Chain A
Amino acid sequence: MTVLLPIPPLVPIPPLAVPGEVRRMVRLTYLTALTTLLGYVVFFVFGFLRDLFRELLDWSKSDDLRGYAPICPPFEDFYTRRIYHRIQDCFARPIASAPDAWIDVVERYSNDNNKTLRRTSTASRCLNLGSYNYLGFAAGDEYCTPRVIESLKKYAPTACSARADAGTTRLHVELEELIARFVGKPAAITFGMGYVTNSSIIPVLVGEGGLIISDSFNHNSIVNGARASGATVHVFRHNSPSHLEEVLREQIVKGRQPGTHRPWRKILVIVEGIYSMEGEFCKLPEIVAICKKYKAYVYLDEAHSIGAVGKSGRGVCELLGVDPADIDIMMGTFTKSFGSCGGYIAASEEIIRYLKHACPAHLYATSMSPAAVQQVISAIKVVLGEDGSNRGAKKLAQIREGSNYFRSELKKMGFVVLGDNDSPVMAIMLYNLAKLPAFSRACLRQNVAVVTVGYPATPVLLARARICISASHAREDLIKGLKVISEVGGLVGAKCLPAEPEKAKKMD
């Protein structure tokens, strides 16, 4: 029987050192960093001891692996077993209703110390501050739902076929024209899942011999797509146009190989509109100017910003005053603002024509469900006002005012809040791992459902609670949310900055 000693976890822990400008942005003091690190050390030590005891107790048990290597070596899921399982009840909470402004969170219990959780049949009605429902299309909508049901009856839930075979319906063609018009590009192509859009488009655009420069905080789908492409990948400091310029100059001069200086085939710079863990916009005008100067192509991922920001909902380009013609590839998803599923790419006619010929997701993957397509078409029509009402404009105004109000109130209470003005996503810094479950459970007890994130979605020292405001949140809902967060935040000690006294008294 092989002895599996507890080996220190070999999972790639991002460097504990937090870059200077990020540290300033999140107000990470040395004391906070030290205490957070101490907390992790305590967890690891206890985890090792438990693993050791588990080893000793299992010594006598028979080895049922019979010559196979374990499918999951102990160090690979050390973090899962010893740290994540303790706070498992704060994640993956099932709901029994539509992900609207108020949800029914199903209560769960555990008989074995949180290792497995079982559902009960009771649910508690909570304020939903976690779902990506920016324009409030998640639950039934008076314009969208009847049309969706009609499409479902006409076209069936799916076409059981890829777009290139028998999966293209009139609805798909209409959606592609509509989204191209909405975004301001000549043509578009749609896919059934946002993640697959990134993973399968980037390898088609850039292959071996190309260079991809991506922001250090980019989403996992972009990282996977960049890796699958076979191109060389470099990372530039988050949202830093000056560092991007440095990297571009260095790489163009160096070339593909250090000795021969062979030039790169093409350079693709990938940025996101809103970074979902921070809630801040990318510095698009500067980045586009730099890319134009050095002839690099720009790929903009507007997963969170399309439909939610900008005067008419057209995304960061409208908000920051960038001409869509300057951006080579605009990508986005329909999951967040339009209450559906899927993703799209908008670019010039020739690029879209080539993608339709070459992209594996278009040729092999099942086409988007027609009912979901109809939902997006109807939602865009509402946003543009083409349904004959001004509900779209009202929703956009509501989400803008709601998010600005929420953010300013949180800042007044003394929380460290990340996120730019007008962004519907904001993050309250908690730093310490132990504050995550405390914050989450205390809020749930008071019927507010929040999302708390730690490692590996965020850097090790920067755990946070993330709030997503929706257009379906009424002002009273936001006030109730603020009251609960203020109380709970005070209890866990998340109010790191001095509060404004008169406003704080008003909250009480």
Chain B
Amino acid sequence: MASAVMNMTTAALDWVTVVFDAPLARAVVFGVHIDGHLVVEVLLVAVILFQLTRKSYKPPKKPLTEKEIDDLCDEWVPEPLHPPITEEMKAEPPILESAAGPHTVIDGKEVVNFASANYLGLLGNEKIADSCITSLEKYGVGSCGPRGFYGTIDVHLDCETRIAKFMGTPDSILYSYGISTIFSVIPAFCKKGDIIVADEGVHWGVQNGLYLSRSTVVYFKHNDMASLESTLEKLTHENKQAEKIRRYIVVEAIYQNSGQIASLNEIVRLKEKYRFRVILDESHSFGVLGNSGRGLAEYYGVPIEKIDIITAGMGNALATDGGFCTGSVRVVDHQRLSSSGYVFSASLPPYLASAAISAVNYLEDNPSVLTQLRSNIALLWKGLADILGLAIASHPLSPIVYLKLKKSTGSSKSDLELLNIITDRVLKEDSVFIVSTKRSVLDKCRLPVGIRLYVSAGHSESDIHKVCDSLRRVAALVLV
């Protein structure tokens, strides 16, 4: 059976071969014999040419007429600019009627103020107020121009020199607002293609700067040096490209969102091992840490040259406004033309620069104010140790004392509601002013919410006892 099929197939193939090679016409056209297979080839070529001449199939696309565009535009309905207003959005902060020192006046009543970052107690200092008034009388209030166009007043240059001298760096540059310092510095040095390793608990200003820089950002676990090391290892392991691009580690000295202190000696060791540069935001540690208030580097005994870029807002310990950035000459010089918050914005009002100079002078002349601050923090820690339902989550040396709920309700929103009840009652019933965490919708930080107490060197012992007693009483009532 199989052999019969085989025979038939072989016979058919033989016949086809004969027909293909059989001369059709006893003619030779251009030296080519007209054989049978030529017919098939000619047919194939004809079919191909026929297909090529057909137009390719495109679904018919007629442009929209004007009327259709008009209709589409009429149909489109935008979302409103704001979402529906909820009750929590209507809450108003308390209105102060005097200076925000350790004691302030709210609604006609005197309250103890633990909500201002007045770490050295310089608000209300006579010498600083006098220097401000002299400055106001000489220069007016505003500087009426950016630094490049007659907005550079000699007090700005004096302030920059004074800060650089205090920190021990070659030069520094002044910014006109605290929060704009870090989000202008980061995009000036980090561009697309660079690598940044940042702590996940950095505040919104840093997050905005990281986003604007368009670099590759990798976050490591909050204040966890092991996580940092493994991230650095992963990024640089067998990555030849990494050596040619700029690499940065961005950390805060004292984290605004948790009160933790970064371990600078570990960070410097890792930075030197993996060849990264460090950008350090010292807003809450400048004038607080270290024997003379020179910040985190002095506290850890790290030479200041090892930290590449230091930024700080002056709205905390120095009791003025604005910010500065300091580092090597190259770092500071580069910002004068490429930092957008410096070039495209009016400069710091001159009286605030004078206040900064006076504050730094005061700090250098009176280092005892730091010991006062430290003893106040220690006293507060002792008093808050046994509060029902609240635990201290910050570093023992941090002037931001962070209290979080021992047992969270499960969602940030309800935690915050509970904490707000506590802070409202503490203010209304005991005249103590404390604040809870505020989170913006744009903030990507996911650290737990809590109550913040800002300790000042100007607080007296009775103030500290008062806040501890008040919190103990109200927490027991609210957090059963």
Contacts and interface: CB of A to CB of B under 8 A. Distances in A.
A88 B218 CA distance: 38
Contact of A194 (B104, B147, B345): B345
Contacts of A195: 177, 180, 340-341, 344-345
Query: B151, B246, B256 — which one has the most chain A CB atoms within 10 A of its CB?
Result: B151
Contacts of B454: 160-161
Nearest to A94: B152
Chain A: interface size category:
35 or more
A204 interface: yes
A253 B73 CA distance: 7
B337 A204 contact: no
Given A193-B176, A353-B89, A219 B344 contact: yes
Interface stretch (B16-24, B74-82, B460-468): B74-82
Contacts of B295: none
A487 interface: no
Contacts of A375: 141-142
A204 B78 contact: no
B169 interface: no
Contacts of A149: 133, 136-137
Nearest to B275: A67
Contact of A359 (B93, B338, B439, B440): B440
B78 A128 contact: no
Interface in B271-287: 275, 277
A69 B244 contact: yes
A264 B75 CA distance: 12
Contacts of B95: 168-170, 173
Nearest to A172: B95
Contacts of B443: 360
B301 interface: no
B150 A95 contact: yes
B73 to A, nearest CB: 5
Given A94-B153, A169-B96, A363-B438, A224 B144 contact: no
A274 interface: no
B136 A265 contact: no
Interface in A250-301: 252-253, 263-267, 293-297
B140 A339 contact: yes
A99 B143 CA distance: 6
Contact of B148 (A91, A173, A205, A249): A91
Interface string A86-129: 00000111111111100101100000000000010000000010
A351 B136 contact: no
A367 B410 CA distance: 32
A162 B96 contact: no
Given A152-B136, A360-B443, A69 B247 contact: yes
B297 interface: no
B45 interface: no
Contacts of A99: 139-140, 142-145, 150-151, 153
B398 interface: no
A194 B340 CA distance: 13
A338 B99 CA distance: 24
A361 interface: yes
Interface stretch (B226-234, B316-324, B365-373): B316-324
A71 B246 contact: yes
A354 B441 CA distance: 11
Given A77-B334, A165-B115, A154 B98 contact: yes
Contacts of B36: none
A362 B420 CA distance: 18
A472 B80 CA distance: 44
A295 B442 contact: no
Given A69-B246, A169-B96, A266-B79, A132 B144 contact: yes
Nearest to A451: B149
Interface in B49-85: 64, 69, 72-73, 76-83, 85
A166 B139 contact: no
B116 interface: yes
B178 A228 contact: no
Contact of A253 (B69, B100, B129): B69
A305 to B, nearest CB: 16
Contacts of A263: 76
A364 B442 contact: no
A92 B277 CA distance: 29
Contact of B346 (A253, A297, A328, A341): A341
A371 interface: yes
Contacts of B321: 157-158, 192, 366, 369
B181 to A, nearest CB: 11
Contacts of A72: 189, 330, 334
Contact of B442 (A66, A93, A360): A360
Interface string A30-53: 000000000000000000000000
Contacts of B277: 68, 71
Specify which of A95, A159, A340 lies most central, judged by the most chain B CB atoms within 10 Å of its CB.
Answer: A159
> Chain B interface residue count: which class?
35 or more
Contacts of B176: 193, 341
Nearest to B336: A92
B308 A71 contact: yes
Contacts of A359: 440
A340 B142 contact: yes
B140 A265 contact: no
Contact of A160 (B80, B256, B316, B351): B316
B106 to A, nearest CB: 9
A276 to B, nearest CB: 10
B118 interface: yes
Interface in B129-178: 129, 132-133, 136-145, 147-154, 156-157, 176-178
B129 A160 contact: no
A94 B133 CA distance: 21
B433 interface: yes
A164 interface: yes
B467 to A, nearest CB: 14
Contact of B330 (A71, A98, A252): A71
A75 B218 CA distance: 27
A339 B144 contact: yes
A236 B134 CA distance: 48
A373 B147 CA distance: 22
A314 B73 CA distance: 33
A451 B344 contact: no
Nearest to A205: B81
Interface in A154-208: 154-170, 173, 192-196, 199-200, 203-205
A199 B91 CA distance: 24
B101 interface: yes
Given A95-B152, A220-B340, A295-B78, A340 B141 contact: yes
B142 A167 contact: no
Nearest to B83: A354
B296 interface: no
B94 interface: yes
Given A157-B319, A252-B76, A96 B81 contact: no
Given A76-B191, A266-B78, 14 more contacts: A69-B244, A71-B246, A98-B139, A154-B99, A166-B104, A228-B212, A297-B81, A339-B140, A339-B141, A339-B144, A355-B82, A358-B441, A364-B205, A372-B349
Interface of A: 66-72, 76-77, 80, 84, 91-100, 103, 105-106, 119, 128, 130-133, 137-141, 144-145, 148-149, 152-170, 173, 192-196, 199-200, 203-205, 219-221, 224, 227-228, 248-249, 252-253, 263-267, 293-297, 328-329, 333-336, 338-341, 350-351, 353-361, 363-366, 369, 371-372, 375, 449, 451
- Sorted nearest first, the 6 A-B pairs with minimum C-beta distance are A366-B315, A166-B115, A193-B177, A156-B99, A354-B82, A365-B179
25 contacts: A68-B246, A70-B246, A71-B246, A71-B334, A99-B142, A103-B150, A130-B149, A155-B96, A155-B100, A157-B128, A157-B129, A158-B123, A158-B320, A158-B321, A161-B117, A166-B94, A193-B177, A193-B180, A248-B73, A295-B78, A341-B348, A353-B85, A354-B89, A358-B442, A363-B440
